[in-house]
Each structure stands twice: as structure tokens, then as C-alpha cells.
Structure 1
Amino acid sequence: MAANRHTADKTTRSGRTSPAAGRATGRTAERGTGRSAGHSRKATVSAASAVSASEAPEEQIDRRTRILNAAVEHFGTLGYYGTSLQKIATSVGLTKAGVLHYVGSKEGLLRLVLTEMYDQETNELLRECANQPRPLIAAMFRANVAINAKRPNLVHMFSTLSAEALDPNHPAHDYFAQRERDGVEQAMKVNWAVPEGIDPAEVMLAGFSMMDGVQLRWLRKPGQDFQTMWAQCEDVLFPMPLWEGYR
């Protein structure tokens, strides 16, 4: 489900220096070393170019995948603010410049793990439902649960970032604020089979909220079967006999 724009890291939250401080530091460094900021930028670009030139396309894909997987682990356990590009670079055997070559920036990396790593499969699931004449909402949720049951690390990352992004200044705040609305909007393009008098939008919102809660319980107690836990919720979300024939 589509991500929106992300705000820049705030100095007090991310630990990065402000633009003004960065310029002052750059001028001090230039006076102390006699090397210009332009020289430093060229060196970084040259290092990144060297990484690209020395690798075959499949090697570049492999490196990028390893960077994204490492980011999932770090964001999940440390959050966005607790993670640095240097930590990720070290974990995959690259320099920070090498990581930046593949992801552009820390915010770019955050965007990739959310929209490419996490959302891609669930977006595809909704597209498949849209191509069916009368799909079942309950079946869609079960398929979504089956997807997430196989990727606890991604669910952990998503849950950690979701809580962290309650802060309006978090770079993923807009993504999470818009994600639910986009999800319901996308789901409402599907011709769902529901009992008479049932509003699919209300069911979708309730289902997404319930899934968030079940996922947190699942993460707190490793070893539980996520699909079994979800099955226990279906009688509440899709009560019988109202949903007879629609589950």
C-alpha cells in the first residue's frame, strides 16, 4: 500500500547535525586540512562508483537485498532513530558510502523497507482480489495472515516503526497516517461478497485494527501460531449465522 512523502530527520531525534552546523563544520575542516568540501564529495562519489563498476548486475542485486534485510533487522530491534547507516554497512561488510550508493539516504532506506519489503506482497494480494468476481473479505484476511506468518522479522519492524512514527516529526509519520486510508480505499475498489446490510469499509477497518493487535500478541510470545490466533478472532469479526456462506 502506497507510501507518501517522508519528513526530514529532526536534529534532536536523529542525532544528525543541522545544515548550518554542517556548513560550519565543513569550513573548519577545510581550514584544518586544506581539502575542500567538493573534494570530499568527489571522493564519496568515486567510492560509490567503484563499487558499482566492480560488480556484475546480479552482485548489485544481492548486495542491495542484503542491505534491505539488514535494515529490517536493525529497524525492528532498534527503531529508526536507534539505527545508523554505519551499523547497517558494517553488518553487511560495506562502507557507509557503499550503502548510500544503493539506497540514497537513510530516509530512502526506510521508504524501501516499508513499501518494497513490507507492502509489496499485501498490495499484490488486493490486486488479485480485485480480479475476482466476488471475493470474500474473510479469505483475504486469512491470506494476509498467511503472508505475515512467514515473515516475523518484517512484522516486528513494521510494529516497531508504527509505534515510533506516532511522533509527527518521524520520517515515516505520513506513511503510517496515510497507509490505512489508502488500504481501505484500495480495498473498496473490490466487489466483495458480504451479507446484506454490511458495509465492507467498516469491516476492513475493524479487520486491520484487529490484525495489528493480534500481531503484537504474536510477537510478544514467540512460538505461537499466528494463523491459529487469527482464526480465533474470526468469530468476532465475521459472526455466525450472519456471515454464513461469506467466510
Structure 2
Amino acid sequence: MQSLRLAGKPVNNENRRAAILDAAVVLFGERGYYGTSLQTIAAAVGMTKAGVLHHVGSKEGLLEIVLDEVYDNHNDEMRERYLAKERPLMAQMWRDVVAMNAERPEQVHMFSTLDAESIDPDHPAHQYFLERDRDTIDLMLDVPWDVPEGVNVEQLLNAGFSMMDGIQLRWLRNPESDLNELWAQCEDQLMPLPMWDGYR
């Protein structure tokens, strides 16, 4: 992993930290938080465990960084864009999220694995995922969505994100599948025509 991340780049603190985060994303996805040791991450990037700790503080600190800085950074940017729009289409928001996630399978793999692990209330990311679910819906409710009359936006958001979680697991199991096509099938059920004519 180090050779891929640092090839042609100066070996400085910024690049070392980036290599650690890349390795953590892959290993947390493949093995989960409990199945990944700091020593394994250190070996993957050609560093010592002490060197990794210098950059991330602790294993829980590393977990927090990859969730907040690596995974959620892209989502936060997208939320801000939609909050700034006037009467945006919810269908387009979901398509944008799906297209973004289709380009980052390793991060989605990590997120899905940690999400499942964190059902355990003692998992260090349990509270993060619990709050993230609520916060995502609350933030999206602040957007002035252009939807058909009578649509319950909160219920629609909950259903849509639940569908997305499910199709991402199917996609990860079958990498030959197309995440965008899988979502298009869900969209037809979630926002059926003709009710959603002009809103998709």
C-alpha cells in the first residue's frame, strides 16, 4: 500500500498520514475494526506501530479520522450544495450520492463493515452511527425539496437511505454489478411514475 500511495511523492508527514488512512480504510473494510490491529496497519505502510500512533493518537482515534475526515468529508460537501439550492430534486440528490459512492468502493466497504459491527453497543463507533442516521435525516429535512403534494419527506428520506444501504451491500458482494443501475431500479419503486412526473 505504501508503494502505491507514496510512489513519486516525498516521504513526509502528510504523505505518511495519508498512507495510514488509506491502509485503515482497506483493512477496516476487509477485517472490521476488531479484526484489524495497529501493527497490521503499520506493516501495510512500512512503518512501526509507534510511528502510526504518532500520526493518529490511538486506534479509536484512527477510526474517528477515517469516518469523519475520509468518509463523511464528501457527504458534508454534498449536503452543503443541496442546502444552497432552491427547490432541488430529491431524485437527483440520491443519484449524486450513488454516483459518488460508485467511485469509492473501498470507502463504502469500510463504512458498511463498520456499520454492521457497530450494532454492538460497546463498539467504539456505535454512537457515531446512531447519531449519523438521525443527523443525516435532520439535515436533509432542512432542504426545500421539490416533491409532489402530499409526500411525507421524512418517510421518503428514511426509505431511500435504507434502500441505498441495501443495494450497496449487494454491489459489494457482486463487484461486476453497476451501483447506478441498481439504484435506478429502486428509484422506480421509491418515486413511481406518473406521480413523480416532473420531480425526477
- Counterpart of 2:98, as a letter, is V
2:31 to 78, 83, 86: 78
Matched, 1:114 2:67: yes
Percentage of pairs with the same residue:
58
Q: Which has the higher contact order (CA 8 A, sep 6+)?
A: 1
Aligned to 1:219: 172
Rounded to whole Å, the distance in 2 between the matches of 1:190 and 1:59 is 41
Aligned to 1:12: none
Cα offset, 1:58, TM superposition:
7.8
Superposition pairs of residues 19-38 of structure 1, within 5 angstroms:
none
Aligned to 2:130: 177
Secondary structure in 2 matching 1:222: coil
Aligned to 1:127: 80
4+ aligned runs moved over 2 Å, structure 1: none
Superposition pairs of residues 1-80 of structure 1, within 5 angstroms:
59-80=12-33
Cα offset, 1:109, TM superposition:
0.4
Aligned to 2:109: 156
Cα deviation code 1:82-103 (max 9, x no counterpart): 1010110111011111111111
Rounded to whole Å, the distance in 2 between the matches of 1:126 and 1:192 is 13
Rounded to whole Å, the distance in 2 between the matches of 1:84 and 1:139 is 39
Matched, 1:196 2:188: no
- Counterpart of 2:105, as a letter, is P
- Counterpart of 1:136, as a letter, is L
Matched, 1:136 2:73: no
Aligned residues: 191
Rounded to whole Å, the distance in 1 between the matches of 2:101 and 2:90 is 17
Cα offset, 1:201, TM superposition:
1.2
Matched, 1:230 2:187: no
Rounded to whole Å, the distance in 1 between the matches of 2:86 and 2:12 is 42
Question: Normalising to structure 1: TM-score of the pair?
Answer: 0.76
